[in-house]
Chain A
Amino acid sequence: MIELYRKYLKKYKKEVILGPLFKLIEAIFELIVPLVVAYIIDHGIKNKEFETIYKMGGVLIALAVVGLCSTLVCQFFASKVSQKVGTQMRKDLYVHINSLSNREIDKLTVSSLQTRLVNDTIQVQNSIAMLIRLAIRAPFIVVGATIMSFMISPTLAIIFVFATLAIGLIIFLVSKFSLPHNKKMQQQLDDLTVITKENLTGARVVRAFSKQQYEQKRFYDKANSLEKTSLKIAKISSCLNPLTSVVVNMTIVLIIYFGMFQVESASLTQGQIISLVNYMTQISIAIVVVANLVVLFSKASASSKRINEVFNTSSSIINGTEKFEDSKISIEFKKVDMRYSDSAMNALSDINFKVESGMTLGIIGGTGAGKSTLINLLMRFYDVNNGEILINGLNIKEYDIKSLRENIAVVHQKPTLFSGTIKANLKYGKEDATEDEMYEALKMANAYDFVCEKEGLETVVLQGGKNFSGGQKQRLAIARALIRNPKLLILDDATSALDYKTEAEVKKAIFKRFKGTMIVISQRVATIKNLDQIIVLEDGLIVGFGNHRDLYENCEVYREICDSQLSKDEVNRDE
C-alpha cells in the first residue's frame, strides 16, 4: 500500500501535508473546549464574573468558526487529491491491462480485473481521503485528550490510559471472534445466490423432473443456516457497544470517586472534574473512529495488493521491430509446442505445416483438439513454448505485432459485437470505411437483408449483441472482418450458428471475392472439404494433412468424421 501511496501522492505533497495540519488545528480547538467550560464554571460562576462568562462564550464561538474553516480546507484537499489519484490509477491500470497478452488476462480473469479496476481503486481512493482527513486527527484526539487530562491531574489520568487500552481490547476481541463467522456468512450468501441462479436458468429442467420440493428444501436449508450464522455474529457484535459504554461509564465514576478526594484536598476543582469527564467522552468517540479506520485501511491494503499484482504483471509477449508491409501472407509452423499456463498438458505438440500465400487451409477436429490454439498463436495472443512460426519466412516474433494484426482478420465462433450501432461495429473493422464499403461487406456476409429489415447501419446493438440471433451475430462479425480487406482471413467456426443453406451462401460469396490466404476451422466436413489443404487435429497432434481425397484414403480419423457426417455420395462429390 505504501508503495502505491508513494507513487501517486508524490504529485500532491503540498495537499497531503497541509490537509492534516489544518485538521489538527480543529482537533486542538476541540481539546480546548472542555478547558474553557471548566473556566466558565470555576471562575465565571463561582466568582460571579459575568464578563468572564461572555468572553469565554465568545472564545467558544471563535474556536468553532476557525475550526470549521480549517476543516473545510482539509476536506477540500482530501477530496481533490483522493479523487485525482483514483482517476489516474484507474487509467494507468486500464492502460497496463491493455499491454498484457491473453496469457496474463486469462490468469487474472476478467471478472477479477473488473473488480480491481472499479472497486479496489475506489477502496484505495477512500483510504487516501481518510488518511488526510482522519488518520492524523483521531489518534491525535486520543493522545491529546490523555495529555490534557495528565495536565489537569496526573493521578486521575492513569485511569484514562487503562480505559483507552480496555476499549481497544474490546474492539479487537469482538472483531476477532466475529471475523470467521463473517467469512462463513459471505460463503453462505454466495451459495444462496448460486441456488437462486440455478433455479432460474434451470426452471425448465426443475419442472420437467418435478423437482420443486427438492429445490425448495435445498434453498430452505441454506437460508436456515445463513440465519444461524447471522445470529451468531449478532450475538458477538452486539457486545461491542454495551461493553464500551460500561468502560466509559466506569471511568467517569472512577474520576468522580477519586476526584472527590483531590477536590477535598484542593488539588482539583469542580470544573476540572467536568472537563475530565468531557475528555473521556472525546476519547471514546475517537477510539471508535480509529477502529473504523483500521478496518478501512486493512481493506485498502488488500485492495492495493490486488492492484499492485496487476501492475507487477508484465506481458509475456515481446514486440518485434519489423514492420509488416508485404502484400501477401504465407505461414509455416515448425515443430511448434504450445501449453497454456494453467494446464498440465500441451494444447499443441510438434505441429509442422506450411500454407502458401493465396491458398485455403481447413482445420478439422473435435472439441479440445487444439484448433483455436493454432489461431491464438497466429494472432500472437500467445507465444509458442517450443519451435517457431514463420510468416513470409520470418519468425513471427520479429514483427511489430500491431502491423501484423492489421493484415489479419479473425471471426470467432462466439462473435462479439460491441454496444453501439452496426455502423460503429463495422468501423471497428476499418475506421474510415464508407457506407458503400459497409453495404458491400454486409452483402458478402449475407447480412444485408436483415440489416435493412431493421434500421440499416444505424440499428442499435445492445451489449453483447443480444438483440441479434447467433446466426446474425456471426454474419455481422464476418462483415466486420471482410471490410478490413485482410491478407489473411481466419474463420474460427464462424458459421456454426448458421443453417447449412445460409452458410453455403456466405461461403460462396466470400470465395468469389476474397483472394488472400484463408484458414477455415470447423467441425463440419462440408465446410472445409473443398479447401486446398486440410489439417486433421486430434488431442493437439496433427494426424492428417492433405486434401479431402488424400485424407479420406489415408487418414482414419478423417474418414470416421466424414462417414459420421456425409453419405458416400457426398464424400465423393466435388464441386
Chain B
Amino acid sequence: MNKNILRRILHYTKPYRKWIVTTIISALIYVLTTLIIPIITGDAINSVVGPRQVDYKAVTIRILIIIVLFVIGAIAEWILSYASNELSYKTVKDMRKDAIDKILNVDLKHLDAMATGDIITNVITDVDQVSDGLIQCFKQFFTGIITIIGTLVLMFVICFPIAIAVVILTPLSLFVASYIAKSSAETFKLQSNKRGELGAFVNEYLSNQSIVTSYGLEQKTIDDFEKINQELDKYGFKSQIFGALINPSTRFVNAIIYAVLAVGGALIVLDGRFGLTIGALYSFLTYASHYTKPFNEISGVIAELQNSFASAKRIFAFLDIEDQSSDKNNYVLRDPQGNFNLDNVSFSYNDKKIVIDNLNLEIKKGTAVAIVGPTGCGKTTLINLLMRFYDVNQGIIKLDNHDIKTLTRNSLREGFGMVLQDSWIFKGSIRDNVAYSVDNATEEEIIAACKSSKVHNFVMRMEHGYDTIIDDASGLSEGQKQLICIARLMLKDPKILILDEATSSLDTRSEIIIQNNFKKLIKGKTSFIIAHRLATIKEADIILVMKNGQIVERGTHEALLSQKGFYFELYNAQFNGE
C-alpha cells in the first residue's frame, strides 16, 4: 500500500527532476566534507604532540584544507536545504491545484456526502504534512543514510576492531528510543484525542453559554469539563513522562558507548598493532557521535514520514474520486427558451429512500411554477435535477426538447439564474460579489441591479461603498447576504429563474419590495419558485404541491383552494393559526 503511495508522490516530483538531482549531488558533497574534516583535524592534532614535537607546516596545510572543505560543505548544505524546499513546495503546489480542480469538477453528490472540514483538512493540513515529509526525506533521511554508510566505511578503514564495536553498540540507542516511542504511541494518541474532546466540549458549550446560564447549568458543565480535564491530565502526564525519557535514555546509551570507545581506543593505541594514532582516536570519537546522530534523526523522520504517508493516502483518496462524466462532445445549447419536459423521472440520493418518484411534468416557456410542500418532500431535489447538479436515476428531463444529459453542463446552466436558501458570499468586494454572475458587467449595470435588490441602500451607508471587502463572517446580516445574492440574479437577468426560498431571511416589508421586483424580472420567463410563505406564490401560473416525492396536486391557487385538498390544508394552517 505504502509503495503505491510512494510511487504516486514520486510521480508528482517528476517535473522537478533537476531539483532531485541537485539535492542528491549537494547531499553527497555535504556529507563527504563532514566526514573528511574530522580525519584531517585528527591528522592536524597528530602533528601537535608536545613541546618541540610540533610540525607547523603540516598543521598549517591541514588547517587550510579544512577551511576550504568546510566552506564547500556549507555551500553544499545550503543548496541541499534550498533545493529540497524548492522540490517540496513545487510538488505540493501541484497537489493543491489538482485538489481544487477536483473540487470544481467532481459530481456534487460526492461533495455533498463529505464534510467540508474534512476536505479543507485534506487540501491544507494534509498537503502541508506531505510537504514536511518530502523536505525531511531529502534533507535528513537521505543525508542520514549517506552519513551512516560513509562513517562505517571510514571507520573500518581506520581501525577494524573499534569499528566493529561501534557497529554493535550504536543500534542500542536506536533500540532504546524506538522502544520508548513504540510503547508510548498509544498514550500520545489518547492524549491528542482527549485534547480534541476538550476543544469540542468547550466550543459546544461556550457557543451556547446563553442556554447554559439560562438553565443554570454552570456547575454541571464545569463538572463535565473537569472530568475530561482530569482524563487529559492522566494521559498528558504519561505522555510527558514518556517524551521526557527518550532524550536522557539515548544520551545515556551514547555516553556508555563513548566511554567504551575512549577506553578501547586508548588500549588499541597503546597496543600499536592497528596503527591507531591519538589523532585517529579523536576522529573516532567524533564519528561515534556523527554515527549515532543520524540514527536518532532517522527514527524521528520515520515517524514524520509515516504521518506524511497517511496524509498522502487521504489526499489521493480524495483525488481518486471520479470526475463527472465528460461533456466535451455534447451539444452546446444557445439561447435556451425554457420549455421543460419531465418524463417518468425518479431519483433517490442513496437508493434507500426514493425522493422523487415517477414524476411527469410539462412546463411551457414563460410559466411561473411554484413548488410547495412540507420539509423533505423533494422540492430542492427537483432544482438539483433541473440544473443537473444530480443526474436522474430514471426517466428524462428535456429542455427545449434536448435531453439535458446531451447538453454541455455550462450551456445548460448558462440559461439559469438562481437564489438559494443559503446565501453564499465569497471574500472580496461587494462589487465583485454582485458581478460574480456576469463577466464584464459595467458599473452602471451593477448599481442598477443593486438598486432593484435594495443592496444599494446599505452599501451607501458603508464607508468604502462597493469596495467594502466582505466575507461570510464580516458582520453582514443574513438578510443583507441574501440581498447580495438577489442582486447577482438581477444583474444576470437569466432566461430561467430559480428562487429557492429566495426571500426567507428578509423581513416581510423588504420581502414585498423584492417580490414586486421579481415579478417584473420573471415576466415572460420560465421560473421555479420554492417558498415557505404561501402568500408569496399565490400568483404563480401553476402550483405543484409535493408530498413524499410525488406531486399530489397541481393547479392555480384558486383551483387548488377549491379542491379542498392538501394545499387547502396547508394554506389554512398558515393563515388561521388553527
* Residue in chain A with minimal CB distance to B47: A260
9 tightest A-B CB contacts, nearest first? A500-B574, A501-B573, A366-B507, A57-B263, A234-B85, A60-B259, A242-B74, A238-B81, A75-B244
| B299 is an interface residue with CB less than 8 A from chain A | no
Residues of A within 8 A of B54 (CB): 260-261, 263-264
On whether A208 and B416 interact (CB within 8 A), knowing A200-B103, A220-B97, A256-B41, the answer reads yes
Give Cα A234–Cα B122 distance, bound, in whole angstroms. Answer: 24
Are B414 and A210 within 8 A (Cβ)? yes
> Cα distance A266–B53 when bound, in Å?
10
User: Which of A469, A507, A564 contacts B512 (CB under 8 A)?
Assistant: A564
Q: How far is the CA of A544 from the CA of B532 in the complex (A)?
A: 28
Q: Is the CB–CB distance between A367 and B210 below 8 Å?
A: no
In A77-125, the 8 Å CB interface with B consists of 78-80, 82-84, 86-87, 90-91, 94-95, 97-99, 102, 105, 110-111, 113-114, 117-118, 122
CB of A44 closer than 8 Å to a CB of B: yes
Beta-carbon contact of A367 and B478 below 8 Å: yes
**When the two chains form their complex, are residues A208 and B413 in contact, meaning their CB atoms are under 8 A apart?**
yes
Instruction: Contacts A53-B263, A238-B78, A253-B66 given; indicate if A219 touches B50 (C-beta within 8 A).
Output: no
Min distance, Cβ A540 to any Cβ of chain B, angstroms: 15
- Chain B contacts of A484 at CB under 8 A? 215
Q: A97, A499, A523: which contacts B374 (Cβ < 8 A)?
A: A499
Residue pairs across A and B with Cβ atoms less than 8 A apart, 17 shown, are A36-B262, A40-B266, A41-B266, A65-B252, A83-B240, A94-B225, A208-B417, A209-B492, A241-B81, A242-B77, A242-B78, A256-B44, A257-B59, A366-B508, A405-B215, A567-B575, A575-B577
Does A95 contact B222, Cβ atoms closer than 8 Å? yes
Known: A48-B270, A260-B59. A61 touches B240 (CB 8 A): no
In contact, B233 and A501 (Cβ under 8 angstroms): no
- Closest chain B residue to A419, Cβ basis: B204
Known contacts A405-B216, A561-B509, A527 near B74 by CB under 8 Å:
no
Further contacts, 4 of them, CB under 8 A, given A102-B210, A227-B89, A269-B50: A90-B232, A133-B244, A203-B103, A366-B508
Q: Tell me which of B96, B213, B422, B427 contacts A405 (CB under 8 A).
A: B213
Given contacts A98-B222, A256-B59, A565-B535, contact A118 B199 (CB under 8 A): yes
Assess whether A158 is interfacial by the CB under 8 Å rule. no
Closest residue of chain A to B511 (Cβ to Cβ) is A564
The chain B residues found within 8 Å of chain A, CB to CB, are 37, 41, 44-45, 47-52, 54, 56, 59-60, 63, 66-67, 70-71, 73-75, 77-78, 81-82, 85-86, 89-90, 93, 96-97, 99-101, 103-105, 108, 111, 116, 119-120, 123-124, 128, 195, 198-200, 202-218, 221-222, 225-226, 229-230, 232-233, 236-237, 240-241, 244-245, 248-249, 251-252, 255-256, 258-260, 262-263, 266-267, 269-270, 278, 281-282, 285, 289, 374-376, 387, 389, 409-410, 413-414, 416-418, 420, 422, 424, 426-427, 436-437, 471-472, 477-479, 488, 492, 505-512, 532-535, 569-570, 573-578
Closest beta carbon of chain B to A67's beta carbon, Å: 7
Contact of A238 with B200 in the complex, beta carbons under 8 Å: no
Say whether A334 faces chain B, with CB atoms less than 8 Å apart: no
Q: By the criterion CB–CB under 8 Å, are B202 and A117 in contact?
A: yes
In angstroms, Cα B74 to Cα A249, docked, is 10
Report chain A residues within 8 Å CB of B212: 98
- Tell me if A324 is interfacial: C-beta within 8 Å of chain B: no
| B interface majority secondary structure | helix
Instruction: Write out the residue numbers on chain A whose beta carbons fall within 8 Å of the beta carbon of B211.
Output: 412, 416, 428
Interface string of A240-255 (1 = CB under 8 A from B): 0111011001101100
Complex CA distance for A45 and B204, rounded to whole angstroms: 71
A421 within 8 A of B: no
Contact A428-B437, Cβ < 8 Å, known A118-B202, A223-B93, A500-B573: no
Instruction: Tell me the smallest distance from the CB of A443 to a CB of chain B, in Å.
Output: 19
Q: Chain B residues near A56: list those with CB within 8 A.
A: 262-263
The residue of chain A having its C-beta at the shortest distance from the C-beta of B533 within the complex is: A565
Q: Quick one: given A91-B225, A367-B479, are A206 and B256 in contact (CB under 8 Å)?
A: no
Check: A312 CB closer than 8 A to any chain B CB.
no
Q: Are B111 and A200 touching (Cβ within 8 A)?
A: yes
Q: Nearest B residue to A57 by beta-carbon distance?
A: B263
**Residues of chain A with a CB closer than 8 A to B511's CB:** 564
Rounded to whole Å, the gap between the CB of B354 and the closest CB of chain A is 18
Q: Are B252 and A198 in contact (CB under 8 A)?
A: no
With A189-B124, A463-B204: A210-B244 Cβ-Cβ less than 8 Å:
no
With CB as the reference atom, state the residue of chain B lying closest to A97.
Answer: B206
Q: Are A561 and B508 in contact (CB under 8 A)?
A: yes
Q: Which of these binds chain B: A9-17, A146-154, A270-278, A296-304? A: A270-278
A314 contacts B by Cβ under 8 Å: no
Q: Is the CB of A199 within 8 A of B104?
A: yes
Question: In the bound complex, what is the Cα–Cα distance between A266 and B124 (angstroms)?
Answer: 63
Residues of B with C-beta under 8 A to A111: 203
**Which of the residues B120, B198, B270 comes within 8 Å of A200, measured between beta carbons?**
B120
The answer to whether A316 has its CB under 8 Å from any CB of chain B is no
Q: A457 contacts the other chain (Cβ, under 8 Å)?
A: no
Q: What B residues does A517 contact at CB under 8 A? A: none
Q: How far is the CB of B178 from chain A (nearest CB, A)?
A: 18
| Shortest Cβ distance from residue B273 to the other chain A in the assembled complex, whole angstroms | 15
Interchain nearest-CB distance for B470 vs A (Å): 12
Contacts of A129 in B (CB 8 A): 240, 244
Given contacts A215-B104, A575-B577, contact A207 B413 (CB under 8 A): yes
Q: What's the Cα separation between A36 and B255 when bound, in Å?
A: 13
Q: How far is the CA of A37 from the CA of B270 in the complex (A)?
A: 15
Pick from B252, B375, B532: contact of A469, CB below 8 A: B375
Q: Is A227 within 8 A of B82, CB to CB?
A: no
Tell whether A387 is near chain B: CB-to-CB under 8 Å: no
CA distance A210 to B44 in the complex (A): 73
Residues of A within 8 A of B575 (CB): 500, 526, 566-567, 570
CB-CB under 8 A from A98, the residues of chain B are 209, 212, 218, 221-222
- Which residue of the partner chain A has the closest CB to B479? A367
Could you tell me the distance between the alpha carbons of A560 and B509 in the complex, rounded to whole angstroms? Answer: 7
Indicate if the CB atoms of A199 and B103 lie closer than 8 Å: yes
B104–A87 touching, CB < 8 Å: no
Task: Report B-chain residues with C-beta under 8 Å of the C-beta of A165.
Answer: none
